[in-house]
A = this chain, B = another copy of it.
């Protein structure tokens, strides 16, 4: 095997993750066979599993990758913006991968319910998102934008609970066209109290 540069390895890893994300979203974890992963990534199984030990490791890397991306959006724009992005039509989404991201997230939710081993492996990773949400809220509080009569931990849990509800709502195929004012209410709930109306 020829020696390859780190850049090349990173690009290859990215290629695998992007293909696998679409594949898991479309077929679910069990349905994403090695054959389908080969097609989705345009790579051989040898190339794929040179980068990831097995399918489980690939899925976890993907979910972690998504959580970090989401944490970036949270850090810059807040968790409510993440929720607004979920509601947008695909063509209006600020993040291109929102639909696939939702698919991965649903697979994570399903496996958390049914697979205790996965639950343990996921627990540590999900803390990154919580930490990012919390960090942003602390900065917002310092900037005077956040209400100061409720603990930041409680506000973080509140936002995560609403996000979880929204993911579940969308997963069930329920109508979401009336959700914008609900998210306005959620945003207002965590902000410093200013009545606008």
Q: Which of B150, B165, B182 contacts A165 (CB 8 A)?
A: B165
* A67 shortest CB reach to chain B, Å: 15
Q: How many Å lie between the Cα of A171 and that of B161 in the bound state? A: 13
8 A-B residue pairs with Cβ-Cβ distance under 8 Å, sorted by A, are A154-B182, A157-B179, A158-B182, A161-B182, A162-B165, A164-B165, A167-B168, A189-B189
Question: For the complex, is A30 an interface residue (Cβ under 8 Å from B)?
Answer: no
Number of A positions contacting B (CB below 8 A): 38
Question: For the complex, is A91 an interface residue (Cβ under 8 Å from B)?
Answer: no
A147-173: CB near B (< 8 Å → 1, else 0) gives 001110111011011111111110111
Q: How many Å lie between the Cα of A186 and that of B113 in the bound state? A: 25
Q: Which of A105-162 contact B (CB under 8 A)?
A: 106, 109, 112-113, 116, 119, 149-151, 153-155, 157-158, 160-162
- Please give me the residue from chain B that is nearest to A165 by CB atom: B165
What is the oligomeric copy number?
2
Q: Write out the residue numbers on chain B whose beta carbons fall within 8 Å of the beta carbon of A112.
A: 172-174
Interface-centre pick from A113, A151, A178 (highest chain B CB count, 10 A): A113
Task: Name the prevailing secondary structure of the A interface residues.
Answer: helix
Interface-centre pick from A119, A154, A168 (highest chain B CB count, 10 A): A168
* A51 shortest CB reach to chain B, Å: 28
Question: For the complex, is A181 an interface residue (Cβ under 8 Å from B)?
Answer: yes
Question: For the complex, is A6 an interface residue (Cβ under 8 Å from B)?
Answer: no
Interface-centre pick from A160, A166, A172 (highest chain B CB count, 10 A): A172
Contact status A149-B113, CB under 8 Å: no
Q: Which of B163, B172, B178, B182 contacts A119 (CB 8 A)?
A: B172
With A185-B189, A189-B185, A195-B149 as known contacts, state yes or no: A165 contacts B172, CB within 8 Å.
no
Q: How many Å lie between the Cα of A171 and that of B115 in the bound state? A: 12
Contact status B162-A161, CB under 8 Å: yes
Q: Write out the residue numbers on chain B whose beta carbons fall within 8 Å of the beta carbon of A5.
A: none
Q: Write out the residue numbers on chain B whose beta carbons fall within 8 Å of the beta carbon of A189.
A: 185, 189
